[in-house]
Structure 1
Amino acid sequence: MNEMIFERCEEMIKKGSTSFYHAFYGLPSPRREAVFVIYAFCRIIDDSVDEPEKAPYSIHELREQLQALEKAEGHFIWPALRWLFDTFPMLSKAPFFRQMDGQLSDLTLTQYSTVEELEHYCYLVAGTVGEMLLPVLRDDSGMKVMESGIALGKAMQIVNIIRDVGEDQRRGRRYIPLEMMKAHGYTEEDFHNGIIDEKFVSLLTELRKRALHLFEIGLSDIGTYPQVSGFAIELASSYYASILQAVESNEYDVFTKRAYVNDETKMQLFLEVASRYPALLGEGPKAAVS
């Protein structure tokens, strides 16, 4: 396939998520290119809802084009996806459609009531990414591996929700379930006013524990992956989980501050994860922090 198409996908992941880019850049071809293509399409799906004025397609157009992928034209993502499904025949379109369902729900369900609703949303928009990546990162499958891949996606989405509380609040969205808020004595009025007190800290602490538990489930079978894939997954998870520490360092002010992981911390995490993969040192993966 035209190298420029891969370069366009690579540009999107490099711009949209340096953590993902650094973690997966060391994968061998064609796994690396496949991750870039998956990320690019997921980014386009996300933008179609969050920034429709900048997106090349509406989410309804994306669904139609994916359904008729053999004939889809007009954007680099369509030949990229045709290559993806041809190269990795174990990968199906189903998780992409489910992710679209999740993104569509953002247009109608903006205030979450129950933990069950949140879990389902996290599965649709992020657990599905685990389902997409699994056939790309390993050559076999199975229910347990699929469950762990889904758990990792859900863990990362909960981290996103914690990090983006303020941004989502300004968009009129509240992903923190009302039943969880009530359990901690934190009111909807507190949320709208951006109140950070011991009730809010205990609320975020519960969400943090939920995310870390899902990370633990997700990484429980990391040793069954090809080593380079396992390294990439563990590194991406490590980068993401460290956002929770950044939130704590910001004294849980997720209303006015955006938690991020600096390059020095990323390098420390890289070295820590790399120490568990001594066979890879010196031969790949490539440097994960620039």
Structure 2
Amino acid sequence: MNEDILKQCEDMIAKGSSSFYQAFQGLPSPRREAVYVIYAFCRMIDDSVDEPDESPYSIYELRHYFSNLDDAKGHFIWPALRWLFASFPQLDPGPFLRQMEGQLTDLVQTSYNTMAELEHYCYLVAGTVGEMLLPVLRNESNADVVASGIALGKGMQIVNIIRDVGEDSRRGRRYIPLELMVRHGYTEHALLHGEVNTSFISMIHELKQTAMIWFEKGLENVHSYPPSSGLAVELAAAFYGSILEAVEENHYDVFSRRAIVNDERKRSMYRNIATKYARVGVTEGVL
């Protein structure tokens, strides 16, 4: 495999998500490079919908070329994906296609009425990422492990939704289900005007609890991962979960401020999590 191609995938994750990059960079090769390829393709899928003018492909073109991967040319992602599936033959293309289905949802559905609807969306756009990563992070899985991987992805998507409430609102999207807004007495008018009040905070708290339940389930089987993979998964979960703390520190202002976890806090989390992995020597080279 051309190292320059894999380096371009690494550059995409380093630029697009420092949290994921820092969490997974300690994996051994080729697991590490495989994570980079998966991230790069998922980033392209997301950008094709959110930033279509900047994307080299439409979501429909990505789906077409992925479905005809052997013949796809014109971008480094295609040989990278061919390398990925050749290196990890247990990988199923299904989650990749469902990921694209989820992103296509954003083109036709801009608001949600129920938590059930939102959970299905979270599965499509994020739970599928857990399904993609499992064959890369471990040699074998079972139904419980897959369910945990999906749950962790869904929890991370809820974090995204909380962090990006303001940005999504400006794009004309509302991921917070209407039933949740009604339950907490928060109106669409308030959302459009970026109002942070007690109703908004209580609503975000409920969403946060949903995320934490999914995070807990997502880490249930982490002890069964290879140590280096377990460390990476726990780091990613901790980094992402701490975004919720940053939201709280910003007084729940997700309309004019972006919740960011700084490197100092990440290093602190890394030290805490790495302690239990240190005895098997998998902490070197991270952060």
Which residue pairs with 2:16 in the alignment? 16
Question: Is 1:210 paired with 2:210?
Answer: yes
Counterpart Cα distance in 1 of 2:186 and 2:230:
39
What is the one-letter code of the residue matched to 2:284?
K
Shift of 1:285: 3.4
The percent of aligned pairs where both chains have the same amino acid is 62
What is the one-letter code of the residue matched to 1:67?
S
Counterpart Cα distance in 2 of 1:95 and 1:285:
30
Asked if 1 retains the 8 angstrom alpha-carbon contact of 2:115 and 2:177, the reply is yes
CA offset digits 1:42-63 (Å, max 9, x no partner): 0000000000111110000011
Shift of 1:215: 0.4
Asked if 1 retains the 8 angstrom alpha-carbon contact of 2:26 and 2:286, the reply is yes
Shift of 1:141: 1.1
Which residue pairs with 1:286 in the alignment? 284
Which residue pairs with 2:77 in the alignment? 77
Question: Is 1:4 paired with 2:15?
Answer: no
Counterpart Cα distance in 2 of 1:264 and 1:200:
29
Which residue pairs with 2:101 in the alignment? 101
Secondary structure of 2:26's counterpart equals coil
Which residue pairs with 1:244 in the alignment? 244
Counterpart Cα distance in 2 of 1:91 and 1:263:
33
TM-score (norm 1): 0.98
Which residue pairs with 1:268 in the alignment? 268
Which residue pairs with 2:90 in the alignment? 90
Question: Is 1:45 paired with 2:45?
Answer: yes
In the comparison of the two structures, how many residue pairs are matched? Answer: 287
Question: Is 1:33 paired with 2:29?
Answer: no
Secondary structure of 1:275's counterpart equals helix
What is the one-letter code of the residue matched to 1:186?
Y
Counterpart Cα distance in 2 of 1:200 and 1:252:
8
Asked if 2 retains the 8 angstrom alpha-carbon contact of 1:27 and 1:285, the reply is no
Compare 124-133 and 183-192 and name the one that shifted more. 183-192
Moved over 4 A (4+): none
Asked if 2 retains the 8 angstrom alpha-carbon contact of 1:98 and 1:128, the reply is yes
Q: Provide structure 1 residue ranges, at least 5 long, that are not aligned to the other structure.
A: none
Asked if 2 retains the 8 angstrom alpha-carbon contact of 1:41 and 1:77, the reply is yes
Asked if 1 retains the 8 angstrom alpha-carbon contact of 2:85 and 2:91, the reply is yes
Asked if 1 retains the 8 angstrom alpha-carbon contact of 2:13 and 2:40, the reply is yes
Which residue pairs with 2:200 in the alignment? 200
Asked if 2 retains the 8 angstrom alpha-carbon contact of 1:25 and 1:286, the reply is no
Which residue pairs with 1:167 in the alignment? 167
Shift of 1:190: 1.1
Shift of 1:264: 1.0
CA offset digits 1:154-213 (Å, max 9, x no partner): 000000000000000100000000000000011111111111111000000000011011
Counterpart Cα distance in 2 of 1:248 and 1:59:
35
TM-score (norm 2): 0.99
Asked if 1 retains the 8 angstrom alpha-carbon contact of 2:277 and 2:283, the reply is no
Shift of 1:288: 2.8
Secondary structure of 1:173's counterpart equals coil
Asked if 1 retains the 8 angstrom alpha-carbon contact of 2:26 and 2:283, the reply is yes
Counterpart Cα distance in 2 of 1:275 and 1:162:
30
Counterpart Cα distance in 1 of 2:217 and 2:179:
24
Counterpart Cα distance in 2 of 1:251 and 1:288:
31
Asked if 1 retains the 8 angstrom alpha-carbon contact of 2:111 and 2:174, the reply is yes
Which residue pairs with 1:256 in the alignment? 256
RMSD of equivalent CA atoms: 0.8
Counterpart Cα distance in 2 of 1:15 and 1:285:
23
